Structure 1
């Protein structure tokens, strides 16, 4: 990559913003305000993937502003969506009776918000607040009640036959050739998906519907039999997903929205509806892969294998979440809390590159690394570097010191010469690492390539550390084992740091092993012999 090829700060975020601007110029649209949007699911507990949608959209907003354009993020909660299934872990709340009702009409089972939907939305909004994302929040229930989509609903329903044919052609779904792509909320039972609309009276702006049995997932949901009419501007109802995005884009003038591969079909149809029916050029898109759990399953609200921002922030910094989400956008990634130590270390490395403590000769890589650091700091990087303390080192110390942990770990860091003075930032790191140490007994094994000589030396050290004989000088024992096996001591120390701390250096290794406990270290090292 040459310097001429570098766009903005050299990241995928800058490339997306540049593509968006080129497209807007080609379309000849006004660029005074470029809105980006993120949809927030409100039917289950929001996870890191849900957060990622908004965080990445915010990155594009920042990139547009960096290029001199005004931009804002709309965070839209789809809280008129119907509850399709009970999320894992919520069976005790008696939500079965509310299946197919809009989540904004279901009472909050926790009793702290105006609805189930608002409770779930608030979890995600709190996560965004904690990592520093600024947004304008809009709710589906308000959007529809206020008639903000009335014009788009009218146009879509007038063209429902044409849309039904196109949906069948594009994705093979045929039900919208029979029913309108609009679900009124049944006036009798408050259910959404059971009230299927069959006719639109355009001059009155009303749909006629019947509430009958319908299948949601693999379950039959009973309709109440009510036959009614619903005014699209006054009565509660919502567009089907296959057309609703398009209506929002046109009504809110949205220029960018990312999407997950799980809704590709909906986006394909919505793009066509926006372009051909609403005459609003669809937004610039980027498709991202889903986060998977460590078992390879998609992280899902209904499966209950969620990693929330709130839980993550018990163990890692807000910067670690932003780094996770801004590193890249393509490719499926397995995600777990055991990724936190490496992300905490990676942030420190990026900071060292940014402030010139680590030299990077490749100009494109240097620009990209610095750019990524700036985006992780939401384009407001600090004026000077923070004090870096190895997160894994603090975890190991936190395992030793459970009583009066903060003070005792801080003292050890001072004794080791890792820090010069106690700082509030390091107190917070000790708290996070302590939470991690308490929650997770085992850390993921760090992969290191070792030759036979190194393995033999490690085996000798394991025997010494794991034996019953007291070792007066662990530092010297390690030194002697290295020398007797023709290994440079500094190289052997480096191997030990990599195994114990996941880094190439650390505090003086002998006293550190003594603090952790030599038999505990022997057990860890034995996995590599």
Structure 2
């Protein structure tokens, strides 16, 4: 594989003293990037490990699902992105696999935060598909939230072969066979609940939620007495804390949408209906004695089949807090609604955020501070690995982060932190500057890559960047700065270099060599602080060589001369 260009301004080529003068070391790897040697010791890539668990001589189905219970946070994309990465990997291993995604719109509204919203209390306990849409653009509550979430899939390169809404599966009768099987084995299921999870149900309890014919709720109904065609039920006022039933009692058929299976039993019905062989899931559902353990045992005892395998993924936290659909105010200010997130962040960076950390480890995402530049730097390093060590974990992570499965190597790109610096220098036009750095016109894909970095850098600078990442070039020499004799001498020695040396790398070396002449062989932080003070009026800023090469040469020479003669001018 031919090796492509490194990201311009790459951390491996950075000016470490210059960067430290800014107040943070952009070369520092705080993300714990694994070396290739460490990867070799650790074993196979996690997705390859999962592929090796599936027998190659049969057809496979991988499934994922989502409940549209409100505005959906970015954390809810971790499961679909992991599942999509596994789907791609399974295909690369030659497995015959189908990817199915279901929308659980038959679940009841049980969110306490939604209950507080105007007009929502009356709908607590109703299935999501039966609740009015908050916006006329959708037919109902479930479609309003689910369709916004599903719209992100195409942008992110997530392509299930099949989408299924639970309302259609239930109301069409496609799950009637599974419902009948469950009701005829209710006693066995009650025993499993008690044995696996210590959940005790009385002898008449049936594992279905009937839709009340009077009020339309299913979260408040208690079903009993299955006669092979109908079940008796009561819509109880005190069955749950989050909704109040109407008190109606009656009998109705549980088929053709009259009832739904409790959702851990519904899992089993999905596995059976779609012939699922692999389903990963979040940690909250796959804890010991939890819903997945109950579902696994029910599937073995009632369906007489082995449940699908699947790894457990950890949570994605924002600023150290778990994201929840029921607490949107915790994460909205960070632009972390799923449909908004993919408008702000490039889709491949969203995929990378979810895949760079092993699924069994939690992600703590926070776009504030310098976390976003560090995320970009790691993404670029993984892109380099794709060219130099294509079988490494880092290379596979980069490849699975791409929107298109059939993709090429990374092209020329500018380091994100450098792009952010450019945006703060009025004389810099990013696309022209990038082409000068490349030494050739940008390709269409390279221009698009730069556009995405420019767009996100603007948002980062406006909303999340730390103060030491923000700067503006002073129109005149700041009057309130103080420079030592060595700093003034250093600045005076730089004047002949400006305009004569235009290549940033060459000028960088001259900055070092000049500092060594002034400070007896050392390159102290004070050298770069002098440049920042002269142009910005503060002791930190962007990589100094970018300031000196992107501002007009006559402006730079004049400023250096004024700064090097500060005392003379002040005493004149």
TM-score by length of 2: 0.72
Q: Aligned equivalents of 2:44 and 2:176: distance in 1? A: 42
Larger radius of gyration: 2
Which of 37, 51, 54 is the matching residue for 1:17?
51
**Counterpart position of 2:466:** 442
Q: Is 1:134 matched up with 2:159?
A: yes
1:214 aligns with 2:270: no
The within-5 A match list for 1:435-514 is 435-442=459-466, 467=481, 473=491, 476=494, 479=512, 484=519, 486-488=521-523, 508=546, 510-511=548-549
Give the SS at the match of 2:152.
Answer: helix
Counterpart of 1:161?
187
Query: Are 1:329 and 2:359 matched, yes or no?
Result: yes
Correspondence 1:115-194 to 2 at 5 A: 115-135=140-160, 136-175=162-201, 177-194=203-220
Find the aligned partners of 2:80 and 2:419 in 1 and give their Cα distance: 32
1:389 matched to 2:421? The reply is no
CA distance in 2, matches of 1:342, 1:229: 60
Q: Counterpart in 1 of 2:22? A: none
From the superposition, tell whether residues 427 and 246 of structure 1 become closer, same or farther in structure 2 (CA, over 3 Å). same
Find the counterpart in structure 2 of residue 425 from structure 1: 449
How far apart, in 2, do the equivalents of 1:370 and 1:86 lie? Answer: 43
Shift of 1:315: 3.6
Shift of 1:308: 2.7
CA contact (8 A) 1:51 1:127 kept: no
CA gap of 1:140–1:465, structure 2 versus 1, over 3 A, is: farther
**Partner Cα separation in structure 1 for residue 36 and residue 384 of structure 2:** 23
- The answer to whether residue 283 in structure 2 is matched with residue 261 in structure 1 is yes
Q: In structure 2, what is the equivalent of residue 523 of structure 1?
A: none
Give how far 1:508 is off. 3.6
* 8 Å contact kept, 1:475–1:509: no
Local SS of the residue matching 1:210: strand
CA RMSD of aligned residues (A): 3.8
What SS does the aligned partner of 1:257 have? coil
Change in 2 beyond 3 A, CA 1:337/1:18 = same
Shift of 1:418: 5.9
Q: Is the 8 A contact 1:312 1:337 kept in 2?
A: no
Q: Which runs of 5+ in 1 are unaligned?
A: 446-463, 519-529
Structure 2 CA distance for aligned equivalents of residues 253 and 444 of structure 1: 55
SS in 2 for 1:254: coil
Between the two proteins, the alignment pairs up a number of residues equal to 468
Q: Is the Cα contact below 8 Å between 1:396 and 1:437 reproduced in 2?
A: no
Query: Aligned pair in 2 of structure 1 residues 371, 386: CA closer, same or farther (>3 Å)?
Result: same
Output the CA distance in 2 between the equivalents of 1:324 and 1:466. Answer: 43
Q: Give the 3-state SS of the residue equivalent to 1:256 in structure 2.
A: coil
Higher relative contact order (CA 8 A, sep 6+): 2
| Contact 2:167/2:257 (<8 A) preserved | no
Instruction: Determine the C-alpha separation between the residues in 1 that align with 2:493 and 2:131.
Output: 64
Q: Contact between 2:210 and 2:218, CA under 8 Å: does it hold in 1? A: yes
Offset from partner CA, 1:418-446 (integer Å, 9 cap, x none): 6743523323321222222223242799x
Aligned 1:228-307 pairs, distance under 5 A: 228-264=250-286, 265-294=290-319, 296-304=320-328, 305-306=330-331, 307=336
Distance 1:397 1:486, change over 3 A: same
Secondary structure class of the residue paired with 1:34: strand
> What displacement does 1:11 show?
2.0
Q: Structure 1 CA distance, aligned partners of 2:121 and 2:425?
A: 47
Q: What TM-score, normalized to structure 1?
A: 0.78
Asked if residue 310 in structure 1 is aligned to residue 339 in structure 2, the reply is yes
Change in CA separation of 1:488 and 1:108 when aligned onto 2, cut-off 3 Å: same
Higher mean Cα deviation, 345-354 or 269-278? 345-354
Q: Name the CA distance, whole Å, in 2 between partners of 1:148 and 1:444.
A: 60
1:35 Cα deviation after fit: 0.9
What is the distance in 2 between the residues matched to 1:191 and 1:143?
19
Which residue number in structure 1 is paired with residue 21 of structure 2? Answer: none
- SS of residue paired to 2:134: coil
Check whether the contact 1:474–1:514 (CA below 8 A) recurs between aligned residues. no
List per-residue Cα deviations over 1:80-128 (Å, max 9, x = no partner).
111112547x955421211111111101102211211111111221121
Q: Distance in 2 between matches of 1:228 and 1:309?
A: 41
Structure 1 residue 507, shift from structure 2 partner: 5.2
CA contact (8 A) 1:210 1:226 kept: yes
- Partners of 2:544 and 2:47 in 1: CA distance: 35
The question of whether the paired residues in 1 share the 8 Å contact of 2:207 and 2:265 is answered with: yes
CA distance in 1, matches of 2:402, 2:192: 44
| Pair 1:380 & 2:370 matched | no
Q: Cα 1:476–1:199, aligned 2, differ >3 Å: closer, same or farther?
A: farther
Displacement, 1:227?
Answer: 1.1
* Cα pair distance change 1:426/1:188, threshold 3 Å: same
1:69 equivalent to 2:103? Answer: no
5 Å-filtered alignment, 1:41-60, equals 41-60=67-86
